[in-house]
Each structure stands twice: as structure tokens, then as C-alpha cells.
Structure 1
Amino acid sequence: MKEIQPKNTATTVADVARSAGVSKATAARVLGGYGTVSDKVRDAVKLAAKTLDYRPNELARSMTTGRSGTIGVVVGDIENPFFGSAVRGISDVARAAGFNVVLATSGEDVDVERAAVKTLVAKRVDGLIVSPAQESETEHLKERGRAGRPLVLLDRAIATLAVDSVTADDRAASEAVTRLLLDRGHRRIAYVTACDTPTHLYNDIGEILTGSVRERIEGFLHAGEEAGLANMPQWVRLGANTAEATRQLTIDLLSATPPPTAIIASDSLIAIEVFKIARELGIIMPEALSLVTFHDAAWTAVTTPPVTVVRQPVYELGEAAARMLIERLSGLDNPPRQVVLPTRLIERGSIATLFTGL
């Protein structure tokens, strides 16, 4: 018996029209969701489309309607739980509004980010949500406006870009964490971040080109200045952007004379490396080393001791960014909005109170 080969061509609008007994134009109106037809015709076309497993040609539809039904998202590192949670918030809102999400990661490299934005625009995404790697490199983001794509900045606002943004109150959070440590008697407090400079050293706040990181360092330094500490800048450590880099940086910090009595980690990936290395070196926490981290990752609540965290509204950041973009796609023409969401300090058991040796 001759084997019947499966059909390898996609069902077309003409196929649906023929099966439903209507014209191609009528079938197109039903499948495209425009124009007016009777309920009987609409039901017949939809049944035919379901029976034939009709799937719309998204590229053709986007060329006809000017819309692809997709949102492009570019974040720094999808392996970072922060961005994973934010993308979940974006996806949930987008899906509820009938949009799909196309995700790209930049690795915090502005050249990779630039290429990702170019690719997403070429794929005709309706709008973009970007967590920009650098404030100083924005021409590719400005170009999206000339391409007619609305843009929302996620987690990192840029003052020179007249677009919507949603961020957490990073400076206030950093000040609060640093003051907590100062109130507990700590005077040697290190702030460790993945952000870097060409020299891998912190010299001036103007060299920090990522907005959220700059605000956290500003809060850290300001709290120290209020306490009369002039040496806070020397405790800023940059370049903890891989597990190995964080490991070496932490070993160097804890081997210094004198070592810090507390470390503030700018994200939970850094914090877990600090935690592991302290254990390997036999450093008792929190007695010999206190630890605080931004982002309330799941592991921080189940360690011994559990880690004090800055709980950021990460999922809510994603939700807000998606809502703002969809509002723009729906015709909102108000001036750019800058939404700042509050954080929450969750005290656990990783901070010691020092009574001597301050």
C-alpha cells in the first residue's frame, strides 16, 4: 500500500474560505478581526479554521496591519533571578493583553544590546522594554523612536531619554541598609557590585554608567558621610560580574588587613558567592562578617543564618513596564512617565551588632 505523505504546506486563508463556503475576502475579515460579517458566517469560518488547523502568517499580518502582536524585551542577564522575575511580570501582563514576548539578553554589554535592539526592530516588534547597560550609549535607543516603536526603560532610567521608565527606589534602599549597619556599630562596610570601570577600580561616581548601580553607591556613600566616615569610597568594589570574579574579589576583601565587618551585595548572585566563600574560609556569620543583599532570592531565607535583604518589587517592575508600553501602543500620548516603586528592608539573622573595635 502506498504511504500517504503528510501535508507539508500551511493552510491558507483561501483554504479556509473554500471549506467555509465564503469568499477569500470574507474569510480574511473574520480571521483578521476586522470588518462586519454575520454570526453564521463568522462561526463557519472559525470552525473551518479550527478543523484545518489554520495559523495566521504573522509576518504577512504585520505588513498589512502594521502590528506584529509582539513586544521585544532586552535585559542584562536572564540567569540573574532579578531579571527572570521581572520578565515573568512582563510576560503575564503582555499575554493577558494579547501580546507575545521576544526576549534577548545583553550580558550588560552595550554592543550586544545595540545588536539585540536592531534585531528586534527588524522583526517588527510593536514596542520595546529595555534594561539599558549604559547611560552613555543611547543612540540605538533613540533610533527606535525614529522607527516608530515605543520604548519603556526597566529598572534603569536615563534622564536624557524622553521615554517612560519604571525603577525601584535604589538610593533610598541603599541609604537605609548602610544606616542599619552603621547603627549596629559597623565602620568597615564593603559595597560589592557587578558594575565595572576600565580600571576595575572605583574612583568617581561619574564613571558608574548604570543608573541603578550609581544610585545605590550614592546612597551608600551619603549614609557614610552623614556618619562622619571619609573612607567609604575605598570600600566600593567593582567587577563582580562572574562567579570566579566574585570569588577572587571576596577572598581579597576578607584577606585584607583589616577586613570589612560587613558586606552589602548588589544582587543575590554576588551574595551567594560571598556566603559560600565565607564558609570555605571558616568565617563565622554574622559574628565575624555581616551580610546584606539586594533582591530577596529564595535561598536567602533558608541559610544559616538567614540573610537580611532589600526586597525589591521585581515582578511588579515587569508588570508596570508592560502596562506602560501597552498603554502607549493603545494610543496614550501623555508626556513620559517616571514610575518609582518602593523597596522593603527585611531583617533576618545575618547582621551582628558590634560593641567594640569600631
Structure 2
Amino acid sequence: MVTIYDIAKKANVSPMTVSRVINNSPSIKESTRLKVEEAIRELEYVPNKQARSLTSKETKLVSLVIPDISNPFFTNIARGAEDKALQLGYQVILGNTDENKDKEAMYINMLMSSGVDGALIVPSSDDSAANMKRLVKRRIPFVYVDRTVDSVPADSITGDNLNTTRELVQHLIELGHERIGLINGPAYLSNARERAQAFRDTLILSGIQPNPRYMIETHFKQDNLDEIISKFLSLRENERPTAIVAANNFIGVNTLRALRSLGIRVPEDISVTCFDDPDIIPDYNPFLTVAKQPAYDMGYIGMQLLIERIQNEAPAATRKIVLPAELKVRTSTSRRGAQD
């Protein structure tokens, strides 16, 4: 294995000079730098990251911790985060928590022991506070993406849950729907709470009294929603929801599946909208009316915020960036007349 001593011998300089070139020290003459870099290329030397970190105090490694890599929304966040990290000279270690606080704690332990410079994190729940406090104690910079933990402040980049929910609900109201259901994530997630609050507020501002029977919590992972949909259908026909807002893409797709398995037509019997775009589903028609969040941009900008923190280029105050979604009206929603 090629070492800095081999580089030093070939370039006729000291090992310390090679180390300074590798760590971009400004005190090296340009002619010396070029000579060392030429030797590095000829010998195909790859710097050892852990050795570099002893002098530079940076590993150029960052961690991305997400709850479900199988969800295209989080996959796109990961793509954006990796693209920005590579652009700025960093590599990304990925952790997938499966929405599990204990598994998240395991990844927090791993990233602390591996000496990463910082982490971009989608918290698994409000209970992630204990994990986030450990990062604060170790002075490891981190940035929230998509969700936050209110009790542990940090830079964050999220979707506009409030205005996006209002837009989805208002779209259904404009189509004549008044009995609107919400299938949401659990209340221990910040984004689910915001969506539930905006759902209620939008109905009230439109003169519609929210019905607790129409607001159901599940989780954001893939699931069979037959039982939840059956609860709606067990109501008398003139009391059933005529439209449903699904709070993420998996819930939206599984709502379509459950309705189809129960013989309910979409949008003729029930209109369906959802957060995030599940991509084209070839075996399903109609396609969903969605609020498409800029997941790639969340990852890309979130990584920019993180690396600014790592390099001490960020302001002292925490930053909060909220990105709007794009409403894409398709054929899973249709007009309905006055309710019985």
C-alpha cells in the first residue's frame, strides 16, 4: 500500500510537506504542491480518511438517516443529499431506521463512533429527542429534513405541510365535497400534526365541521388499509366520506388498493388525493391527484445547510426553510353535487 512516505521520497520532500499538501495547507509553495500532486497521481495514492482526520479534524464523511428507503420520497431526498455532498467533496453514509427509535439510536451510535462530520436526519418520532441531544452533547452538527423535533432546535428543511394540506382540502371542497376524510400518520410526527391541524382549520374556515370519525391515524409505511376503509364504508351511505386525503404516497396507493378490493370506484364513489407522488402505477387507473413535494431539493438544500454548519459558515441562529409543493390534478378526484 502506498504511504505518504513513498510520496515524500518520490517528490523529494518531507512526509510533513506531503501531509500539508493533502490537507490543503495554504503555507505550501505552489511549485512544491504541484510536485507532490504529480507524485500522488503517479503512485495512485488514496489518502486514509481516518489519518487525515487526526490533523484536519474532518473526515469528509456525513450521515443521512432516513426512515424508509423503500419510499420513493425518501429515495429522492437521498439522491439530492448525495449529489450536493459529492459536489462539496463529502461522502455519505446511509442509515435506514424503519421508523424505529431504537434502530435510530443504533445509527446515532455508529455515526458518532465513525467520526462523521455531521448528519442529515429525518427523525423517527418526537421520542428522537434523546438521540438528538446526544449529537448536541458531542457537538456533531445535524440538520432536520421533512420532520423536526421541537424540543431540540436545529436547522431544518421541510415541506409546507400547512399550505399544502389547505390546497388539497380546498381542491376537494371546490369540487363540491363536504364529507372529507383524512388518513394520516401518527401524531408523534411533526409533519402529521401539522397536516391534521391544517385539515381541521381548512374545513372550519369553509364552514364545514370536522368529523372525528373521518380522521384516522395509521403509519407512513406500507400497510393494508382495508380495515380503515371498511370503517368509512360501515357508516350509512349518506354519512360516508365522499373524498379522502391521504397523508403520504404509500397511504394514497394503499387507499386505492383497498377501495378497489372493496368494489368502490374512484372517483365515481370516492375521490382520493394524497401528499407526495408515488410515481406512475401502471396497474392503477385513475392516477392520483397529488401534492408533489420537492423531495430532491429537500435533500440537496439540507446537505448544503449541514456542510455550512460543519465548516462554521452558518449563522448562530437556527435556520428554517419551508418548500412549497405542486398540486397535480389528475383523475382520482371529480366533482360532486350537494351532499344529502
TM-score (norm 2): 0.90
* Alignment partner of 2:39 out of 36, 45, 48: 48
Q: Does 1:72 align with 2:63?
A: yes
Count of aligned pairs between the two proteins: 337
For 1:315, which of 296, 307, 316 is the aligned residue? 296
Q: Supply the distance in 1 between the matched residues of 2:221 and 2:126 (Cα, whole angstroms).
A: 22
Separation in 2, partners of 1:130, 1:242: 17
CA offsets, 1:99-146, max 9 Å, x none? 111111211122222221221121111111111122244122122122
Distance change in 2, residues 1:35/1:289 (3 Å): same
For residue 204 of structure 1, what is the aligned residue in structure 2? none
* Residue 99 of structure 2 is aligned to residue 108 of structure 1: yes
Structure 2 partner of 1:239: 218
Q: Which AA in structure 1 matches 2:321?
A: V
**Corresponding residue for residue 222 of structure 1:** 201
Three-state SS of the structure 1 residue aligned to 2:321 is strand
Give the Å deviation of 1:192: 1.4
1:297 CA displacement: 3.1
Tell me, yes or no, if structure 1 residue 285 matches structure 2 residue 276: no
Contact 2:157 2:298 in 1 (8 A): yes
Q: Aligned equivalents of 1:250 and 1:23: distance in 2?
A: 72
Q: 1:119 aligns with which of 85, 91, 110?
A: 110
Whether the 8 Å CA contact 2:185–2:219 is kept in 1: the answer is yes
Q: Does residue 91 of the first structure (1) align with residue 85 of the second (2)?
A: no
* Structure 2 Cα separation of the partners of residues 257 and 120 of structure 1: 53
Report SS of the residue matched to 1:62.
helix
- 1:93 CA drift (Å): 1.3
| Residues 178-189 of structure 1: pairs in structure 2 closer than 5 A | 178-189=169-180
| 2-structure distance, mates of 1:257, 1:357 | 13
1:4 is matched with which residue?
none
Once residues 356 and 36 of structure 1 are traced to their aligned partners in structure 2, the CA distance between those partners, rounded to angstroms, is 77
Shift of 1:50: 2.3
Q: Secondary structure at the match of 1:138?
A: helix
Query: Does residue 152 of structure 1 match 2:143?
Result: yes
Q: CA 1:153–1:243 in 2, change beyond 3 Å: closer, same or farther?
A: closer
Could you say which residue in structure 1 is the equivalent of 2:27?
36
Please state whether the residue corresponding to 1:166 is helix, strand or coil. strand
**CA distances 1:21-72 after superposition (whole Å, capped 9, x unpaired):** 3222222222222153444433332232223221111111112221111111
Cα offset, 1:254, TM superposition: 4.3
Residues 121 and 144 in structure 2, CA contact (< 8 A), matched pair in contact too = yes
Shift of 1:74: 1.0
The corresponding residue for 2:335 is 353
Partner of 2:224: helix, strand, or coil? helix
Query: Which residue of 125, 131, 135 maps to 1:140?
Result: 131
What's the secondary structure of 2:225's corresponding residue?
Answer: helix
Q: State the alpha-carbon separation in 2 of the partners of residues 43 and 136 from structure 1.
A: 52
SS of the residue 1:299 aligns to = coil
Deviating more after overlay: 278-287 vs 87-96: 278-287
Distance in 1 (alpha carbons) for counterparts of 2:220 and 2:160? 22
Instruction: Give the counterpart letter for 2:142 in structure 1.
Output: L
Worse-superposed segment, 268-277 or 118-127: 268-277
**1:240/1:246 contact within 8 Å kept:** no
Q: How many angstroms apart in 1 are the aligned matches of 2:275 and 2:172?
A: 14
The 1-side partners of 2:210 and 2:33 are apart by 73
CA 1:11–1:138 in 2, change beyond 3 Å: closer, same or farther? same
